[in-house]
Structure 1
Amino acid sequence: MGTFLTQLPALLGVLVGTLGTILATSLADRARWRRSQNVRWDERRLDAYVEFAHALKESHAVALRMTAHLRPGSHSHPIDREEGLARLAESDARRTIVWENLLLLGDEPTVLAAAAWRDAIWQLERLARGIVEAPEDISAQLDGVNEARDGYYRAARRSLGVRGGSVEQSAALRQALAGRTTVPAESTVRVDDV
């Protein structure tokens, strides 16, 4: 019995060490798994954000081409109404599909900003389709689309943890639309984007 009592502290030490190793390994594995899941979902979220932006930009570009005649001095290439309507229908179908991915993977602020951008483009599409009358000055509507796009990118970048300052384009686009010839050199804006 005396031998057992003298070896008991060593046995307890081995037991505590083994349990500590198991616990530490389990916690490390769990943390590693969470990190890999976060990276996985961030990648998918990025893909959903980009696909949605592409789909909306496609609709926007077609609507701009269909309304080029309403914007004197526009650099958009006019498109035949029938071809434009067909392209709008295709882009609407694509946008509907990518919207579901965005709803599934996006955070609330980004989804709300995406809906605002989508709704602003819908207003331009309604004009392109002839559902609503053309306003005297379409620039306010275009400003709304561009500001909504900026809001979407702000929210998406925040959701993904992207840093690096503002990438907003609406002010530069407004300048270009107003006919100012000077657009900031660091801007990637083209008048065609308006």
Structure 2
Amino acid sequence: MATQIFTLAGVLIGALTSYFATTVAERARFRREMATRWDARKLDTYIEYLTCIKEIQRAAMAAGRARDQGMDATDALNEMEESENKRSILFETFVLLSDEKAATAAHAVNQRTWELLSATRAPSSGVAELRPIPLVEALNVLHKEARSDLTISSSTPVQ
């Protein structure tokens, strides 16, 4: 009888150990999958947001060039405003998904973008008035913080 009890206890301990080991492994796997899923979502959001900023910058410069050449800048301004509307929405997702440093860097990019938008909306502004706005420097800081948030290392600045 004692042998059967020891055997039954051994089977019970083995089953519990197997259950707990499987549970721990499944939880770890689930956390890794979720982290990977969120990192992919973050990367997509970062790329969309930065693309929008670049679209705003290109449209603003196109409007400045058009004014410098005495041409109508309406199309470029409309494109700029459309990209600004999209950027505004993407920024909310960016802040929700990013860490604090990346969010702070994105706020700085927003500030420089608003300066560029404001300068571009002035009817007399050409390329010369738009170039001094330090948007590229703010973007470089954002790139660095986004890479850090995504745990991507790079030794060269992105431009």
TM-score (norm 1): 0.73
Deviation string 1:44-66 (CA, Å, 9 cap, x unpaired) is 00000000001111001111222
State the distance in 2 between where 1:43 and 1:114 align: 19
User: 1:138 deviation in Å?
Assistant: 5.5
Aligned to 1:164, what secondary structure does the other structure show?
coil
Query: Aligned partner of 1:146: which letter?
Result: V
CA contact (8 A) 2:61 2:130 kept: no
Aligned to 1:30: 27
CA contact (8 A) 1:65 1:79 kept: no
Deviation string 1:1-47 (CA, Å, 9 cap, x unpaired) is xxx22322222111111100000000011111111000000000000
Aligned to 2:72: 80
Greater RCO between the two (CA within 8 Å, min separation 6)? 2
What is the CA RMSD across the aligned residues, in angstroms?
2.5
Query: Aligned partner of 2:140: which letter?
Result: D
- 2:31 equivalent to 1:39: no
Distance 1:112 1:70, change over 3 A: farther
Query: Aligned partner of 1:50: which letter?
Result: I
Aligned to 1:110: 102
TM-score (norm 2): 0.87
**Which structure 1 residue ranges, 5 or more long, are not aligned?**
72-76, 170-194
Structure with the larger helix share: 2
Deviation string 1:65-120 (CA, Å, 9 cap, x unpaired) is 2223799xxxxx99732222211221111111211221221111111111111211
Identity of aligned residues (%): 32
State the distance in 1 between where 2:72 and 2:150 align: 39
Aligned length: 158
Aligned to 2:3: 6
State the distance in 2 between where 1:57 and 1:78 align: 24
CA contact (8 A) 1:63 1:124 kept: yes
**Which structure 2 residue ranges, 5 or more long, are not aligned?**
none
